[in-house]
Structure 1
Amino acid sequence: MHAHPLGSLARRSAALLLLPALALGGCAQATGEAPASPAAASDTASAAPVEQRVTVSAMGDMLPHAPVHAEARTADGYSYGQYFDAIRPRYADADLVFCNEEVLASATSVDQVKTYPRFRAPVQFADSLGREVGCNAINLANNHMADYEQSDIDRTRAEWDTLQPRLISGASRSAAEQQQIAVTEIDGIRVAQLSYTTQSNQGHTDFGLNMAGGPLMADQLARARQEADVVMVSMHWGTEDSTTPDDEQRRYVQQLSDAGVDVVIGTGPHVLQPAEYVTRADGGRMLVWYSIGNMLSTQMPVNNRTGVIARWSFVRDGDAAVRVEDATAIPTFMDFVSRGVSLANRHSLRILPMAEAGDRVAAEFPGETADSRFAFVTQTLGGQITVQR
C-alpha cells in the first residue's frame, strides 16, 4: 500500500544496468534492431513520482457511563473491546486511529471507578482502547481529564506508556513532557498531533492539561509546523448538544488556519457538527471537523447516539507538498436497550455501523430509521464530506 525509498533506489539501479546496452548500440543496429528514440529515453528517465500516503480514522468521545463499565466487567477486571466488534472492520486498515479518551484511566480498584459528573475509569479502559480497539493517536485534552488529581493524570499517561501509541497529547506529567511535540513518521510523512481544550471541569496544574489559547498553544503550533510535514490539532470545544459551531470555534479555526494546520479534529459537543475545507493564507487547505460526536457512551438522545468514523488521507507525490484528501464519514449508532428500563439498567451495549442498525434505531426511536439518520449526518456534515454506508 505504501511507497518506500527503496522504490527510487530500484529505479536508479535499473538505469545503471541499461548503460552497457546503450554502449553497444552499434551491435543493435547490426542485428537489425532500431535504436531507442530520444522520446523513449526521456520517458524512461522521467518516471512518475512515488506516492506517499497516510490514512487516518478518527472516533469521537469515549465517555464510559456506569452501564459501560458494568458490561465490561470480567472475572479479573474490565474489557471494553467487544463494544467495537461490529465497526472495527470499518477503520482497522487505517495507519492512525484517533480516539478521544474523555476520562481518566487511573482506577486500580472497583471502588475508585466513578462516572457522571466526575469520571474515573479503570486503567484497563486505556488498555482496551489501545490493545483491543486499536487506538494509536490519543487525545487527552478534554474537560474531564482533570476530574480528580494530578496523580490520576500521571497514572493515565503511565498506562499509555505501556501501550506505546504512535501519538498522544493533551495531558502531561511534567512541564518538560508538556513541551514535547508528538510526531510520528509513516511512509516518509511526518505527522504531528497537538491537543487542547477550551474548558476544564476542575482545577489542575499548569502542565497537567493543555488549555486552548495562550502562549503554549501558539508556540506549539509554530514548532509543530517546523518539525512535521502535516499537523493535526485536536480541539475539545463547542456548545454541548449543539449541531452548529459557535463563535469561539470559528475564532479558533481562523487561528489554526493562520498557523498552517492541516486537519482539525473537534470533540466535546457530544453530537455531530459540520465539516469543511478552509483555504489557508499560504494557499493550502485545512480540513475542519467541528465535532465528530460521541462514539462510546450511554447518553440517551438519538443525536448523542449518532456518531461517525471520520476518515481522510495525507498524500504526497514526489517532492510536492503533502495534501489532505479523501475526506469521508461512516455513520455509527451507539446501540443499547433504554426504552422501558431505568437509567441504571441500560444494557446490551454495542456500536453498530448505521447501515446495520435499522431495526435497533426504530426500536429505540419510533419514527426514526437508518435512512433518516443517514440524512441527518449528511445534512449536518455538509456537502464537502462523502458519507459512506
Structure 2
Amino acid sequence: MGWTRRAVLASGALALSGCSASLRAGPNTAQSTIGGGVDATVGFGGDAMLGRSVTDRWAGRDAAGVWGGLRSRLQSLDGFVCNLECCISEGGERWPDKVYYFRAAPDFAVPALEAAGTSCVSLANNHALDFGESALSDTLGHLDDAGIGAAGAGPDREAALEPAVVRAGEVTVAVVALTDQFRPYRAGLASPGTAYLRLDTGAERTLREVRSALSRAREADPDLVVASLHWGPNWVIAPDRTQQRLARWLVDRGVDVVHGHSAHVLQGVEVYRGRPILYDTADIVDDYVVKESLHNDRSALFELVVEDGQFAGVRVVPVVIEDETVGPTDGDAAEWVRDRVRTLSGEFGTPMERDGSALWIPLADR
C-alpha cells in the first residue's frame, strides 16, 4: 500500500460542518458541557498489542474472540480509543537493533479492531515502525480502509501531528497523539515516522508544536479533545512531575481527556478542572510475561460518560488479560484493580465510588 491521507481526516471539516454544539468557547475554560440532551460513553484502553502470539492464536479464527467477555461491553460504547502497539502488515523489514518487534496480520487485526467498535487508534509509539516505513504505510492504509481514525504517525511531520477527527455516537472527538518513546522513529519534515516530542513544558518547541496541533483540532469544532500520550518508562506505577505538569498544561489549553499509556501498568487518575487525566491506562490486550509484583495482567477499561451534555464521570472497569485474550473480571482480581487505582489516585485527591465491580469517578462537581 502507498501512503494515504486518512479519509476520516481529509473529509473531517466537511463531515463536521453540521455539528451543533462545541464543548468549549476556547482554550483555558473548564466548562463541563457538550450540549443539551447529548448522552454518550467513550471508552479508553491502553496498549493493544495484537502481534506475536496474539496474532498466532487468533489469525484465521474469529478475530472478535481476542476481546473475550469484554466484547459486548466494548460494542455497547459509542466510541473506543486505544494505543495500537504494533504495525498491521504482512511485509516490511525489521528496524535494526531493537529488542521487541510487533506486527499483526491484517486479516486478524483489522476485524479485531472493528469488533471492538474502535473509533481511533494512536500510532505515536515505539512500535509503529518496527517493520519499517512500508509497514507503517500498510498500517495507515488498512485503518483507512476500515474507517478507523489514526493519529500520531504519518508520511511526514505534519501528517504525524495531524489530529484524527471521528464520531462517537452524537459526539465529535478530535484526537492528538504524541510520544516521547524511541526518537529514531521520529517523523521528519519529509520522512515518515511518529509524532515524537520531548513531552515537557520546559521544551519550547514541544509547546509550539502541541499548540499548533490543538489549534488544528479545534478547527473541526469538536465536542471532545483527547491528547493520547505514549510516555514515560515501563513498569512505573506513578507519573513524574514533568508528566503531571504537561497533563495540566494540556487541560488548561482545552484538552478534555489526557489518555496516557506506555508503562504497561495502571497509574492513578487525576481530575483537574473537571477533566480526567488518565496517567496510564496500562494494556488492553497483549501476550506479555506477567510480573507478579506488578500484576500487569490486571488492567481496566476507562469509560467517559456524558449525560445530558454534561461530563458525568469516568467508570473504571477491571479487566484481566490471559491467554492472549482480555475479559472483564470480578472477585479478587477486580478488588486488586480497584484498590490499585484508588490508592494511586489518592495523591491527587480524586473522589471515587464503588459501582458494582467497577469504580466511578465523578466529574460534574469538580
Which bin holds the TM-score, normalised by the shorter protein?
0.7 to 0.9
Match among 350, 353, 357 for residue 325 of structure 2: 350
Match among 251, 264, 280 for residue 257 of structure 1: 251
* Helix, strand or coil at the partner of 2:45: strand
Aligned residue number for residue 315 of structure 2: 328
Is the CA contact (8 Å cut-off) linking 2:239 and 2:267 kept in structure 1? yes
Deviations 1:343-374 (A, max 9, x none): xxxxxx4222121xx5xxxxxxxxx7553444
Match among 114, 123, 136 for residue 131 of structure 1: 114
Aligned residue number for residue 301 of structure 2: 309
Alignment of 1:1-389 (within 5 A): 50-64=36-50, 66-74=52-60, 80-108=63-91, 117-165=100-148, 167-175=149-157, 177-178=159-160, 180-185=162-167, 189-200=171-182, 202-206=184-188, 207-212=192-197, 213=199, 214=206, 215-227=208-220, 228-279=222-273, 285-299=274-288, 300-302=290-292, 303-315=295-307, 317=309, 323-336=310-323, 349-355=324-330, 358=331, 370-382=334-346, 383-386=350-353, 388=355, 389=357
Over 3 Å counting, the alpha-carbon distance change for 1:100 and 1:229 in structure 2 is: same
In 1, the alpha carbon distance for the partners of 2:77 and 2:134 equals 33
**For structure 2, which runs of at least 5 residues remain unmatched after alignment?**
1-17, 19-34, 200-205, 358-366
Is the CA contact (8 Å cut-off) linking 2:41 and 2:305 kept in structure 1? yes
In 1, the alpha carbon distance for the partners of 2:175 and 2:69 equals 28
**For structure 1, which runs of at least 5 residues remain unmatched after alignment?**
6-48, 280-284, 318-322, 337-348, 359-367
TM-score (norm 1): 0.70
Q: For this pair of structures, how many residues does the alignment match?
A: 304
Q: CA RMSD in A?
A: 3.0
Over 3 Å counting, the alpha-carbon distance change for 1:331 and 1:216 in structure 2 is: same
In 2, the alpha carbon distance for the partners of 1:270 and 1:92 equals 24
Letter in 2 for 1:333: V
In 2, the alpha carbon distance for the partners of 1:101 and 1:177 equals 17
* Helix, strand or coil at the partner of 1:254: helix
Question: Quick check: which has more Rg, 1 or 2?
Answer: 1
Over 3 Å counting, the alpha-carbon distance change for 1:147 and 1:204 in structure 2 is: farther
More helix by share: 1
Deviations 1:90-134 (A, max 9, x none): 22211111121111112259x98xx95122222234313332232
Aligned residue number for residue 345 of structure 1: none
Letter in 1 for 2:259: I
Aligned residue number for residue 13 of structure 2: none
* Helix, strand or coil at the partner of 1:205: coil
Is the CA contact (8 Å cut-off) linking 1:138 and 1:169 kept in structure 2? yes
Over 3 Å counting, the alpha-carbon distance change for 1:385 and 1:239 in structure 2 is: farther
Q: Using the aligned pairs only, state the percent identity.
A: 24
Structure with more contact order per residue of length (Cα contacts < 8 Å, sep ≥ 6): 2
Over 3 Å counting, the alpha-carbon distance change for 1:387 and 1:268 in structure 2 is: farther
In 1, the alpha carbon distance for the partners of 2:213 and 2:262 equals 22
In 1, the alpha carbon distance for the partners of 2:291 and 2:354 equals 22
Deviations 1:205-260 (A, max 9, x none): 32521123523322011232343232111011122111111122112113202211
TM-score (norm 2): 0.74
Is the CA contact (8 Å cut-off) linking 1:235 and 1:265 kept in structure 2? yes
